[in-house]
Structures are given as C-alpha cells and as structure tokens.
Amino acid sequence: MRHDSEKPKRDLRQEVTDAIIAALEKGAAPWQKPWEAGALELPSNPTSGKPYRGGNAVHLILVASSKGFEDPRWLTYKQAQESGWQVRKGEKGTQIEFWRFPERSKCGADSLAEQNPEQSDKFVCRVYTVFNANQIDGIPPHSPRVRQEWEVAQTAESILQHSGVRISHDQADRAFYNRLSDTIHLPPKAAFKTAGDYYGTALHEAAHATGHPRRLNRETLNESYHFGDLNYAKEELRAELASVFLMVERGIPHNSERHAAYVGSWVDALRDDKHEIFRAGRDAHKAADLLLALEMENSIDAALASVGKSPVATEPLTEPARAIAISGQPDSRSNSRTMEVEL
C-alpha cells in the first residue's frame, strides 16, 4: 500500500519530453542553434567506445547544450571510478535509459517495447545516471577530430551520391523530396549562402527518402497525406534529427534558420505523447545509419541488413493514389524553410 508521504515515481520520458518542448519553445534546442564545422559531436561513452543513440542521444545533447558542456563523453559514476577518475562532489547526474531484450522477437517486440514500455513485458529497461566528462576530475582531455573544409564537403557529397536517390537541381527557391518519383529536388548550389546550408538541406531531404517503402518503409512518411497532418509533423522531426546526427557525425556546419518554420509542428507532435521523442530519435538514427551504410555496401539489401532491417521487395516507384512531396522552401527574406505538399 502506498503512503501519501511517499514520493511519486519519476517519469523519465515525461521529464525529457517536457524539457525538449520547453527548449523548442524558447529556441534553445541544440538543432535550433548554428554550429561551426566539427563544433558539436554525438555523445559517447569513453569506457565502451560506443555512441549514445536515439532518445538518449537527443536528451544528452540537450543537457550538454543547456549546461555548457563542451565534452561529448558521458559515463556512470562506477565507470569513472573503475577508470581511476572521480566525479566531483556536488555534481548532478543525468538519467538515461538502457534496454536489454532477453527474448528478442522476430516480430519486432523489442522495437514495440522501446516505443511504448507499458505495452510489453519482453524486455528489461533500466535507468542509469551518467555524468559528463566536464564534471569529472582526472579524465584525460578530449581531442575532437579536426576536419578540413574540403573533407567536410567530400564526406557530405559521398552520402548524397550513395543514397540511391536521384537529385535534381531544378528549383528556384524550393527543396523537397518527392515520394512518388523517389527524387530530391533542390535549387542550384550557388543559391545557398554557404556549403553547410546546402548540405544541411540536401541531407534533410535524403533522410526523408530513407522512409521510402523499398528502404525503411517508415510509416510517418508513407502514411502522411497532406500538410499539417500529425504524421507529416512526425516525419519532419525524424528527418531533422537524422540530418543533425549526420552533420554532427561528419563535422558539417549547421544553420538553424533553415528549419525555424517546423518548430510548431514538432511541439504538437511531442506534447501529447511522452514516447514520441524516443521513437523519433530511434527512427532518425536508423535513417542516418542507413545513409552511412549505403556508402559502404554494394546493394540496398546489404545496407538494410547492416541496420537490422529485412530487405523489402522492390516496388515500382509509383503509387495509385495521391503522392506527397515532403518539402522545404527557402524564404528569400529570412533563409528559413516552410513546408509544402505537392498532390
């Protein structure tokens, strides 16, 4: 029996969602701020050497940004102690989720559980407290990778060239992905103020393309039918996070003004569902993983297999009903983007 004096159990997902919404409404979310090439890195664990992913990655990036942490490394108190390092007295940790699936289901039960923990008992979910390297004494200094300007352009071009999507520079002031023809349409490169603006826009549209039925078959792309519907907003959030993950991974500079028009729809998608940012983070990371895998693999089937997705039977690039173009239109006055649907 629960006594009135007992504190209610913390709801990590609700806390993370509330923090992200508050940051978005204030314009303080990390992807709402510009960064220079290589200035932002994906959070990682220095003892395991692995990056944090999905909702954990989004959460840790947000916390680091709000607290001014410039080091991307995060680890538990125990991991720090075992490495001979010491978390400073009085430092407050940040909670993350850790998932283990003892009975991995061929039907995707693990994916279901991560989306909505209340609906599955085939998993173990633990909450861990981690500390940023800026809160720890004795840890060696972090040495970020320094990329040359030509290297940044080269790596971004490589992702686009291996994406499997035809890119046409045939627009005056619009940028969009057309699901019907499986093509990306952009203004000429010279129309963008900087190379970072161009590659950020192109990668955002390439992230949309990963949801095509013959790739990841993402519901938020394929079940979105008109501007303003909920899946449209959810798909835009996934494409934005995927492009941010790619830009951070490859050291590409980011111009936040391009996506200012999406903030309202992102908030609407998150406000009534505490699980959505975790689903969006998971889907976005898988989209980024696929684009990176396509660089390395000789076929779409091999790339899909490398990200844990079964190959999808190739479908004709036409659809019997209406087609939607997920798009962004640069505004000549503010260089921001508005969404547009083509039917």
> According to the model, what pLDDT value does residue 247 have?
87
Q: Are 116 and 155 part of one and the same domain?
A: no
179 within a domain of the structure (yes/no): yes
CA separation for the pair 87, 80 (Å, rounded): 7
> According to the model, what pLDDT value does residue 33 have?
64
> According to the model, what pLDDT value does residue 318 have?
37
Q: Which residues of 209-241 are buried (b: 16+ CB within 10 A; e: fewer)?
A: bbbbbbbbbbebbbebeebeebbbbbbbbbbbb
| Side chain identity, residue 7 | K
Where among 114, 137, 160 does a domain terminate? 137
Q: Which residues of 275-311 are buried (b: 16+ CB within 10 A; e: fewer)?
A: bbbbbbbbbbbbbbbbbbbbeebeebeebbeebebee
17 within a domain of the structure (yes/no): no
Burial of 21 (0-12, 13-18, 19+ CB in 10 A): middle
Nearest to 156 by CA among 246, 60, 267: 246
Q: Are 314 and 171 part of one and the same domain?
A: yes
78 within a domain of the structure (yes/no): yes
Q: Are 295 and 256 part of one and the same domain?
A: yes
Where among 137, 170, 200 does a domain terminate? 137
Where among 137, 164, 188 does a domain terminate? 137
> According to the model, what pLDDT value does residue 90 have?
97
Nearest to 152 by CA among 66, 35, 63: 35
- For the CA atoms of 20, 24, 27, 32, the dihedral, rounded to the nearest 10 degrees, stands at 80
Q: Are 160 and 93 part of one and the same domain?
A: no
Q: Are 57 and 116 part of one and the same domain?
A: yes
CA separation for the pair 20, 30 (Å, rounded): 10
Q: Structural domain of residue 97, as residue ranges?
A: 42-137
pTM for the full predicted model: 0.82
Tokens representing residue 108 in the block: 């995707």
308 φ/ψ sector (left φ>0, alpha ψ -120 to 50, else beta): left
142 within a domain of the structure (yes/no): no
> According to the model, what pLDDT value does residue 328 have?
53
Q: Are 221 and 276 part of one and the same domain?
A: yes
32 within a domain of the structure (yes/no): no
Q: Are 100 and 218 part of one and the same domain?
A: no
CA separation for the pair 48, 166 (Å, rounded): 38
CB atoms within 10 A of CB 148: 10
Nearest to 97 by CA among 138, 126, 120: 126
2 within a domain of the structure (yes/no): no
CA separation for the pair 326, 232 (Å, rounded): 8
Q: Are 130 and 236 part of one and the same domain?
A: no
DSSP 106: T
Q: Are 125 and 160 part of one and the same domain?
A: no
Q: Which residues of 61-70 are buried (b: 16+ CB within 10 A; e: fewer)?
A: bbbbbeeebe
CA separation for the pair 283, 104 (Å, rounded): 19
Number of independent structural domains in the chain:
2
Q: Are 157 and 128 part of one and the same domain?
A: no
The pLDDT profile of the chain, 343 residues, written as one tens digit per residue, is 455 556 667 899 999 999 999 988 887 777 666 556 556 789 999 999 999 999 999 999 999 989 999 999 999 999 999 999 999 999 999 999 987 766 544 334 344 445 555 555 566 778 999 999 999 999 999 988 777 777 778 999 999 999 999 999 999 989 999 999 999 999 999 999 888 889 989 999 999 999 999 999 999 999 976 766 888 889 989 998 999 899 888 888 776 666 666 678 788 889 889 999 999 999 999 999 999 999 999 899 999 999 988 766 555 443 333 334 555 544 332 333 333 333 2
CA separation for the pair 277, 195 (Å, rounded): 29
Q: Are 308 and 241 part of one and the same domain?
A: yes
Q: Are 77 and 222 part of one and the same domain?
A: no
> According to the model, what pLDDT value does residue 24 have?
87
> According to the model, what pLDDT value does residue 258 have?
62
19 within a domain of the structure (yes/no): no
Tokens representing residue 319 in the block: 């659809």
In angstroms, how far is the first alpha carbon of the chain from the final one? 57
Residues sharing a CB contact under 8 Å with residue 145, sequence separation 6 or more, in sequence order: 38, 251
